[in-house]
Amino acid sequence: MKQLNFGNVTIDRVQDWYGALLPLNVFYPTFDQAILDSQRDWLEPHFLPAKGAPNEEMLHLSLHTFVVRSGKNVILVDTCVGNHKKRSTVPDWIDYSSPYIEKLAAAGVTPEQVTHVMCTHLHFDHVGWNTKLENGKWVPTFPNARYIFDRDEFEGWAKNPDDHGVDGSYMDSVVPVYEAGKADLVASDFALDDTVWLEPSRGHSPGHVCINIKGQKGQALMTGDSFHHPIQVAYPEWHSAFCMDLAASTNSRKKIIDKLCDKDIWMLAAHFNTPTAAHVVSNGARAKLKV
């Protein structure tokens, strides 16, 4: 993804992983191959492998952090899987090890420079680098940062820390931050300032939020896991196997599409492949992405 420059605000993407995760018909319980094929004219080549390509039947995902620079603030949105985490859900991410910190450095960011970490939700692939292993203990990776957690999300997972979507991350990547006094539990409409604010998008998780970014020359909406694949822009009724409240997740997607469609607002999803940044535009009775 090329840097988005909104004048007083910039957004970069730091990609930590890319790969084929699960079969589409497993990830999406209502998957329909004919529907997917009907959207190939805009899904290919960025978001869907060509027919006959390797792993064509799989969901191809990017795992990345958005780096937002606004005034004195350096904000990381979602921190991927993390190193040395004991995960079990995705084989590639068991004891995952990556040069994430070095990739941040290549984008001009050191851990000490980060002022805020914002999580769209607390699934394990969005919070991993919140902490690092130091002398056998999980400690905040970004020592000078405030970690912004939606209160409903934080408290929801406290009641269910063993859920498959968390896979141990609540205890090793969230609780240590809270116990270190680095976490701010906020309402779903929390505003950091007039350039960065939250917006509720419930359904995928107990307190899932989108993050609005607005500068002098542009605007974006970071949609987290409200969408995993661009096909859901055309068919928001397709929910993932990881959504907790199916009706709420569908309603959230429809509201997001209504907000973005044919507007000059970039859509920045948590897992869309390169080029990642796109606009939502009308496509007959439905919508599609324009990159």
How high is the pLDDT of residue 89? 83
Cα separation of the two ends of the chain = 11
The span from the CA of 233 to the CA of 248, in Å, is: 16
Domain count, the chain: 1
Q: CB burial class (10 A; 0-12, 13-18, 19+) of residue 81?
A: buried
The span from the CA of 149 to the CA of 184, in Å, is: 6
Q: What is the pLDDT along the chain (291 residues), one digit of tens a residue?
A: 999 999 999 999 999 999 998 999 999 999 999 999 999 999 999 999 998 888 899 999 999 999 999 999 999 999 999 999 989 888 888 889 999 999 999 999 999 999 999 999 999 999 999 999 999 999 999 999 999 999 999 999 999 988 878 999 999 999 999 999 999 999 999 999 999 999 999 999 999 999 999 999 999 999 999 999 999 999 999 999 999 999 999 999 999 999 999 999 999 999 999 999 999 999 999 999 999
Instruction: Find residue 265's DSSP bridge partners.
Output: none
DSSP structural state of residue 278:
B
The span from the CA of 121 to the CA of 45, in Å, is: 29
How high is the pLDDT of residue 57? 93
How high is the pLDDT of residue 103? 98
How high is the pLDDT of residue 91? 85
Cross-sheet strand order for the sheet of 209-215: 196-200, 209-215, 218-224, 266-269
Instruction: Find residue 138's DSSP bridge partners.
Output: 133
Helix (H) or strand (E) holding 48: none
pTM: 0.97
The span from the CA of 154 to the CA of 157, in Å, is: 6
Residues near 82 by Cβ (< 8 Å), separated by ≥ 6?
Answer: 96, 100, 127, 128, 129, 130, 131, 132, 173
The count of residues in the chain is 291
Assign residue 150 the CATH number of its domain.
3.60.15.10
| C-beta of residue 234 within 8 angstroms of C-beta of residue 282 | no
The amino acid at 248: A
The span from the CA of 263 to the CA of 260, in Å, is: 5
The amino acid at 168: G
Both tokens of 257, joined, read: 């599409």
How many other CB atoms are there within 10 angstroms of residue 125's CB atom? 27
User: With b meaning 16 or more CB within 10 Å and e meaning fewer, what string describes 84-95?
Assistant: ebebebbeebee
Cross-sheet strand order for the sheet of 58-70: 4-5, 9-23, 58-70, 73-77, 116-118, 146-150, 183-186
The domain of 95 spans: 4-290
How many other CB atoms are there within 10 angstroms of residue 54's CB atom? 7
Residues near 167 by Cβ (< 8 Å), separated by ≥ 6?
Answer: 87, 88, 89, 124
Cα 271 to chain centroid, rounded: 6
| C-beta of residue 286 within 8 angstroms of C-beta of residue 275 | no
